[in-house]
Amino acid sequence: MEEDSGDMFKYKLGKWILSIDECAFMDLMGIGKNKSMRQYLIESIDSWVNKTEPLITDEFISEMCDFIKNENEVLYDRLMKKCAQKGISVGEGIFESLSLLNCGMISAQECRQPGQFGDDFSNV
C-alpha cells in the first residue's frame, strides 16, 4: 500500500511539474528512477529554504502589502488568497495585476513599444 501511495504522489507531482515546465519534468523523472519523490521533495525544499540569497525586493513588497492592507483590507485578503491559489508570490501577483492594468486593453506588441505611453514615471 505504501508503494501505491508513493506512485500516486510521484504521478501527481509529475503532472504538476509538467504543467509548468516540460524540461523540469524530464529532469524530475530521471531523478525519480533513483530516489523517492517524497524524499527528493523534502531534501529540495530544505536546501532551498536554507540557501542564503539577497532578497532586495522583500522590503518594498512588504511596503506595498502594508499600503494595500491599510487602504483596503478586503482587497488585501483577496490578493493573498488568489496568490495562494495560483501558487505565486505576492510580488508576482502584484506584478501580474499591474501588467493587466496597463496592458489588458491593448495588444502585447503595443505594450512593449518604448515610448508608446510615455516614459516619465516621475509621478508614480
Amino acid at 56: I
**Least-confidence region, from 1-10, 61-70, 71-80, 90-99:** 1-10
User: pTM for this structure?
Assistant: 0.47
Which has more pLDDT, 64 or 119?
Answer: 64
Place of cell 525519480: 32
- Can you spell out the DSSP letters for 6-52? HHHHHHHHHHHHHHH-HHHHHHHHHHHTTS-HHHHHHHHHHHHHHS-
Instruction: State the pLDDT at residue 85.
Output: 93
pLDDT at 42: 87
DSSP 35-48: S-HHHHHHHHHHHH
> In angstroms, rounded to a whole number, what is the distance separating the alpha carbons of residues 37 and 10?
6
Query: Which pLDDT score is estimated for 10?
Result: 84
pLDDT band with cut points at 50, 70 and 90 for residue 74: very high
* In the chain, where the domains are located: 2-50, 58-112
Which pLDDT value is given to residue 54?
A: 67
pLDDT in tens, 32-68: 778 888 888 888 888 878 888 766 667 888 899 999 9
